[in-house]
Structure 1
Amino acid sequence: MRVSTSSLVTALLLGLIGLFLAGGGGWLATLGGSPFYLALGLGLILCAVLVWRQRTSARLVYALLLAGTLGWAFWEVGLDWWPLATRGGLLVLLGLWLLTPWAVGRRGWNAGRTVLALVVVGCVGVASAALLRDPHVIEGQLQAQTGGATAPDGNVPDGEWHHYGRTLAGQRYTPLAEVTPANVEALEVAWTYRTGDVRGPDDVAETTYQVTPLKIGNLLYLCTPHHIAIALDAETGEERWRFDANDGLDPNRQHQTCRGLSYYRDDAVTEADLAEAPACTARLFLPTSDARLIALDALTGAICPGFGENGTVDLWANMPNQQSGFYYSTSPPTIVNDRLIIGGSVNDNYAVESPSGVIRAYDAMTGELLWAWDSGNPERTTLLGPDETYTANSPNSWSVFSADPALGLVYIPLGNATPDQFGAHRSPAVERFSSSVVALDIASGAVRWVFQTVHHDLWDMDVPAQPVLIDLATAQGTTPALVQATKQGDIYVLDRRSGQPILPVSEVPAPGGAVEGDWTAPTQPVSALSFAPEPLRETDMWGASLLDQLACRIKFRQLRYEGRYTPPSLQGTLVYPGNFGTFNWGSVAVDPVRQVMFGMPTYLAFTSQLVPSDEIDADEQVNAGEAGLNVNAGGEYGVRMAPFVSPLGLPCQAPPWGYVAGVDLRTGTKAWMHKNGTIRDAGPFPLPPIPMGVPGIGGPLLTASGVAFLAASIDDYIRAYDVATGAQLWQQRLPAGGQATPMSYEAGGRQFVVQVAGGHGSIGTKAGDYVIAYTLPR
């Protein structure tokens, strides 16, 4: 019997796939996983033998295997297109090939060929039905409300943007309404400016461009990742001045970014009179990567010599464990009631003995230190002596603050004490304040209230997002509220006077079993308004084909996972939501009039594995960012962290991985939730712009007309959405990743929307140095 080359190749291909599935499937079965892969692999090996022997029964056997796969896939995932397609796609393609006369070497339509054709048609029919429905979206509409009021705004004019979130309330909302759902499609580029500051080969991995510019008067103010402050003409984009902080490069830094500048003006002088006022009457504050805080004249960019020492405050003052690159401020300070209040970022998991997470308040004119609140020593806010230091390794705040001047409170989102994944040595004060939002008295720094979002945090679930303030219409009347987005997906809506929940919060049981010497909290708080995902199951594992899906299932079974808050372990733990969180520093946007929230929940699992310090390989690369192996020098364990991905680098969990969502804040109801973004830029080469719903990091912008803008996803687009329905109204291709929160202002009688596009080192989007302004045609 002479076997054709095509039949030999077919048999070899079926045999190799069968061997992989049988071997991996047997391994999976021993781990307690699905036996289907083993059975399918053995069936494909049998089919390969029949093809090699030129038996027409090969097609019948394959038809039975394909029909069984279809039934199994439907039983596991129903009519969910992407999980269904990747379970059957490879087998359907092989089935189509087996229908050809070259595959088996026999012509004619016998029973096996006919049955196989019918099964292939049936698979295509089921796939077509799956394409017609999407089980992952919520369709609905946010109803327009009346009676809402804007929370404290610091008297920001409608056409300006004075703080990171436009106002001290951090709402990321503009009262401008020239751009509407009806005309947003006509937006066009008004001007493009390039800063010249681009990520280079010697930069740390997480060099990112995350700035949201400020707009005051006719100038736009921004900073770059390497801390160059720049002023642009708001209408034309022409550069007016620039100042380079010259903070250099340092491989010890975990982050290299600048999220924004802070603006302050002496209230005794109006904006109109600034040109005639003394220098530095209006000033900008630039935090740097080498832990300085610099004051600049807002009109000229010159250093303000009356602030601190020759225009600079040294943030290393009274700091313990001083090591270059281990402490800096990545977010702009908050300026309220003439006080400049600033926190700082510390390197997570690099060393147990880290700098302090102290929050400090300075006089905005002189730079005099007024108070310092240290979460490791929370009762003392008075100044330290020259030989004293703040508490080492106390929880820090690296994100953006908000404030209510009338209540005299500043709201601080707090992180965790390093190491994030081992908490045996934390003090009672650290346990109280880790992963919480804290209200401090603006005048004195004293704690007025604290609300903890994770007890004994072992998962790096620090509170990453700026608290958003809104005067919320409730059944009890208008309530001063605070909306706090979290990494774990819970959205806490609190009374900002007291920290008491407005929407219910319950304590639910959490998994136990920490490593020896540590412990876990028996319960964890859960908000009634939550975007926390359902726990992962083996059936949620995904891949481009059955092959890498099988690898993900094996990996899933090898990891420790008992749902959210599964403790870190020596074998490796699945952390879901992962380190990027459901929400991150981009926070959410709130419309204070409609009383609605717009957000971008993201879903990506990570893995973490504790590594005993005496087992760390001296040759392994360490402390190269938040992913990889971080050694926690001086501690019992290092930690190895990574995204939970397949051998092909795709997420091991099924899509969607990213959404946009609209919420009625009065009721805590999710009105709609839609997949967001495409996979166009998800690979090393351009992919089709398939709208799978992709992850992102960054924040949204809301307008009074009901349009939301967002450019945070891993594909390089800025998009506009109808806030009422979530429908996408407009998109524009960006020249680089848009992992910065957009802003909007008025200049020359027109509304502008500005997006910074410079990319994000950790998520791999394209680097750049672009500032792009959009407006409607004249």
Structure 2
Amino acid sequence: MRLTSLAATLLACGAIGAPLLLAGCGGGDSGGGAFPWFSAPPPAPNPPAPPPAPPAAGPSAAELADCCTAGDRDFPKVGGNLGNQNYSSLAKIDKARVGQLGGAWLNRIEGGTNIGNSQSTTVVVDGVIYIESALGNLIAVDGKTGVTKWKWTTPYGAITRRGAAVAKDLGLVYTVATGNRLVALDTNTGKPVWIKQYPSSSTDADYQGAVQKVALVYHDKRLYVGTNDGNRGAAFSADAATGKVLSTFWGVPRVGERGYDTWGGAPESDRTGATPWIHPAVDPELGLVYWTFGNVRGGSSQNGSTRPGLNLFANSIVALDLKTGEYKWHFQSVHHDIWDMDNVMSPVLANVRIAGQERKVVIYGSKTGMYYILDRKDGSAPLGIDEMPVKQDARQASWPTQPFPRQGAWTETCIVDQPLGTAIPGDPNRAVPNYLKGCLYDAHWDVPLLSIPGHGGGANWNHQSFSPRTGLVYTGMGYVSAAHSLTESSNGLRPPGTYMTGAVVAVDPSTNLVKWKKPMPYSLAHGNGILSTAADLLFIGQPDGNLLALDAGDGNELWRFQTGAAIAASPVAYEIDGEQYIAVYAGGTSIPYGDSAPRGDYLWAFKVGGTVAPAATPKPPEVRRPVSGQAVEGAALPTPNTVFLARVQTAANAPGASESTAVNAMTPTWMRVPANTTVTFTNPAGNANQHCATQFFEGRFDFKLAPGQSAQHRFDTPGEYFYNDCHSARPTGKIVVY
């Protein structure tokens, strides 16, 4: 067949079978050229791009292979992942459906007990929940049905713990037991596979410290084990197959070790404390484990006179080599601590953008109410931390400066003097009257100095959360002031009568600035962990037994459920057969509300449409710090309806023989009277000093009495009325009117 001239030309130009882009072989414009009549067809659409290859499957949460894989169907450790982010990628329970949450099931894991201190958080692997009870036992529960699969009953006695560890690859779950024991159980049966007992005597060459209370961390055939409350304690790693100690780092150095010279000429008896009493964070990519070390205990945590210097590694975060335990870097958040202000909340690892650059940071801090944002490679401070001068007392050998983030604190750091008779409870950092008032890091000596945050925080050992979705870190906190002086035998005095409230705070770690802060009726500084989820929800439990869901964007409450006992643990999220659950253990603990916090053994799971009803509402905790002693009817006293100032009450409810400034130096400390009763306040003639009865915070009376003088007040309105002394603010009494 003979081609036409046009066809021949097109063929020669390679245009047949292909889009014609230019007129003629040599080019031209689309409107003319060699073939002005020829209009090029529109370009054929590109063939559809093949679907993108699915991203390489990352590790599952239960593998614990990296720092920051979010919780998924599993929530495999306390803190959710090795970076302690307490974050779940599950989002089926969202803001639209959170109000439909109900109990999926309830398991009273110890048969209905209401005693003990429960601080343990649940972990979930392969649909099984593992929880430690206040009685020292470990229980495995089916996450879908709530049925107990097995229970390991300890033969060693009760112990306070904060969470088990699961090695999915080894088929083992680990807990600790009384007597410095590390216990490995079969995940399927609960039968012991091995039990390793570490020495209990500090003179033993293999002594590691008191192995209890600290949640265990598992990674790559190793366990990371903390110690607490001893004169000396180590952060150590152990072989997960045997319990053999593999590496050790001591918070208090000995002769020849790094940091020994930061204790001046302190005797060995005063070089104590600095124990790692909270679980660490782990970054496998960098090969580092991050431990936080507690306060000095030598002699008194409030007396620094015999230990001049920084006192490393107390109040520090220390980065160690993951395998060898070798020191890499440290940052000390409180120098020469004389306030028990150790920042021991589990550090959180996050990747955030700072000044336009992606930074791998560790978020560190708790009691001081500040976040120290540090580069987790080298401990540098990308947002700046400055050493600032603080008030001194040469008798304390106090350190002249303390480190402050340039952005400041996320809570109040000074006590305020709010007049009596004004709003109640008033400012959360309000002073109890008659105390010497101060700020964080003010040095003290023999006169009680009231400051805030107290040694209970700020935050404390509650578990914070970082949400990669919102880019915020969330923490509960407490408003509990403390009076520090050498007159206190423990770590400071929480003044009787003070209100102990709290808040939830959201901070942007890329700027270290507060995004929002929500006041709460209770302190949330002790075990009250926060779970954040991919649905932008927060879950947190309260000491009154209520589990709350909050909006992660602004803290507004969206849902609450009464669990039956105080919650001192983190909620967790998991998924079984496509159904998302939230679980929490409500057992109760004494901090900071003592025996008024309700106890129990309630392991709850929740799901959308759950039908198990809330528990009966328990008596709520006493929000005001209680006075010493027991209630006595005013009419039954040896001298009816009379308070003797500055005298310690005897067993017969009579005033003691000598003047005193003890906390319980009111006789009686706690009196009950019916309404319209007149009570007499007397400064015994044998006292040498003027004493007062200053009623707070209502300001109903403020009697200043010389020795031998008395004054009276008629109580006509039911309620509770605290009062203290102007000579020394420590003695405090309470009158309950009914």
TM-score grouping bracket, smaller chain normalisation: 0.5 to 0.7
Q: What is residue 142 of structure 1 aligned with on the other side?
A: none
Report if the CA contact (8 A) 1:533-1:577 is conserved.
yes
C-alpha distance in 1, partners of 2:269/2:281?
24
Kindly indicate whether residue 216 of structure 2 is the aligned counterpart of residue 333 of structure 1: yes
Question: Which ranges in structure 1 are unaligned for 5 or more consecutive residues?
Answer: 1-148, 202-206, 250-255, 267-280, 305-310, 348-353, 382-388, 612-628, 630-637, 679-692
Find the partner of 1:226 among 116, 122, 135: 135
C-alpha distance in 1, partners of 2:130/2:536?
26
Q: What is residue 703 of structure 1 aligned with on the other side?
A: 533
Task: Give the residue type in structure 2 aligned to 1:181.
Answer: K
Report if the CA contact (8 A) 2:346-2:461 is conserved.
yes
Q: Report deviation, 1:290.
A: 2.6
Find the partner of 2:399 among 510, 515, 521: 521
C-alpha distance in 1, partners of 2:121/2:335?
32
C-alpha distance in 2, partners of 1:724/1:594?
8
Q: Report deviation, 1:257.
A: 1.7
Q: What is residue 649 of structure 2 aligned with on the other side?
A: none
Q: Report deviation, 1:476.
A: 4.4
C-alpha distance in 2, partners of 1:542/1:182?
44
Q: Secondary structure of 1:185's partner? A: helix
Kindly indicate whether residue 556 of structure 2 is the aligned counterpart of residue 727 of structure 1: yes
- Alignment map for 1:247-258 (pairs within 5 Å): 247-248=156-157, 256-258=159-161
The structure with the larger Rg is 2
Q: What is residue 714 of structure 2 aligned with on the other side?
A: none
C-alpha distance in 2, partners of 1:380/1:154?
33
C-alpha distance in 2, partners of 1:300/1:707?
35
Q: Report deviation, 1:732.
A: 1.0
C-alpha distance in 2, partners of 1:390/1:239?
47
Q: Which has the higher helix share?
A: 1
Residues 379-428 of structure 1 show CA distances to partners (whole Å, capped at 9, x for unaligned) of: 769xxxxxxx9997241011111100111100101102203112334486
Amino-acid identity (%): 26
- Alignment map for 1:236-251 (pairs within 5 Å): 236-248=145-157
C-alpha distance in 2, partners of 1:335/1:391?
33
Q: TM-score, normalised by structure 2?
A: 0.67
Kindly indicate whether residue 480 of structure 2 is the aligned counterpart of residue 604 of structure 1: yes
- Alignment map for 1:736-755 (pairs within 5 Å): 736-755=565-584
Q: Report deviation, 1:601.
A: 2.6
Q: Report deviation, 1:677.
A: 3.5
Find the partner of 1:533 among 373, 395, 412: 412
Give the direction of change, closer, same or farther, for the CA distance of 1:543–1:744 in structure 2 (3 Å limit): farther
Task: Give the residue type in structure 1 aligned to 2:601.
Answer: D
Report if the CA contact (8 A) 2:252-2:312 is conserved.
no
Q: What is residue 143 of structure 1 aligned with on the other side?
A: none
Find the partner of 1:453 among 308, 317, 333: 333
C-alpha distance in 2, partners of 1:446/1:542?
58
Q: TM-score, normalised by structure 1?
A: 0.63
C-alpha distance in 2, partners of 1:247/1:392?
31
C-alpha distance in 2, partners of 1:704/1:501?
29
Q: Report deviation, 1:511.
A: 1.3
Kindly indicate whether residue 676 of structure 2 is the aligned counterpart of residue 676 of structure 1: no
Q: Report deviation, 1:669.
A: 2.5
Task: Give the residue type in structure 1 aligned to 2:210.
Answer: Y
- Alignment map for 1:188-227 (pairs within 5 Å): 188-196=102-110, 207-227=116-136
Find the partner of 1:483 among 363, 385, 395: 363
- Alignment map for 1:298-377 (pairs within 5 Å): 298-304=187-193, 311-316=194-199, 319-320=202-203, 327-346=210-229, 354=231, 356-377=232-253
Task: Give the residue type in structure 2 aligned to 1:228.
Answer: N
Q: Report deviation, 1:248.
A: 2.2
Residues 144-193 of structure 1 show CA distances to partners (whole Å, capped at 9, x for unaligned) of: xxxxx999347676210111111101000000001111110110000001
Task: Give the residue type in structure 1 aligned to 2:479.
Answer: Y
Task: Give the residue type in structure 2 aligned to 1:483.
Answer: I
Give the direction of change, closer, same or farther, for the CA distance of 1:442–1:391 in structure 2 (3 Å limit): farther
C-alpha distance in 1, partners of 2:273/2:188?
38
Aligned residues: 529
Q: What is residue 66 of structure 2 aligned with on the other side?
A: 152
C-alpha distance in 1, partners of 2:421/2:440?
19
Find the partner of 1:287 among 169, 176, 198: 176
Task: Give the residue type in structure 2 aligned to 1:513.
Answer: D
Q: Which has the higher strand share?
A: 2
Query: Comparing both chains, which one has the higher relative contact order based on Cα–Cα distances under 8 Å and sequence gaps of 6 or more?
Result: 1
Q: What is residue 263 of structure 1 aligned with on the other side?
A: 166
Report if the CA contact (8 A) 1:438-1:451 is conserved.
yes
Residues 422-444 of structure 1 show CA distances to partners (whole Å, capped at 9, x for unaligned) of: 2334486x712110111111111
Q: What is residue 643 of structure 1 aligned with on the other side?
A: 494
Q: Secondary structure of 2:486's partner? A: strand
Give the direction of change, closer, same or farther, for the CA distance of 1:438–1:431 in structure 2 (3 Å limit): same
- Alignment map for 1:393-408 (pairs within 5 Å): 393-408=272-287
C-alpha distance in 2, partners of 1:573/1:198?
43
Q: Report deviation, 1:316.
A: 2.4
C-alpha distance in 1, partners of 2:342/2:113?
27
Kindly indicate whether residue 89 of structure 2 is the aligned counterpart of residue 175 of structure 1: yes
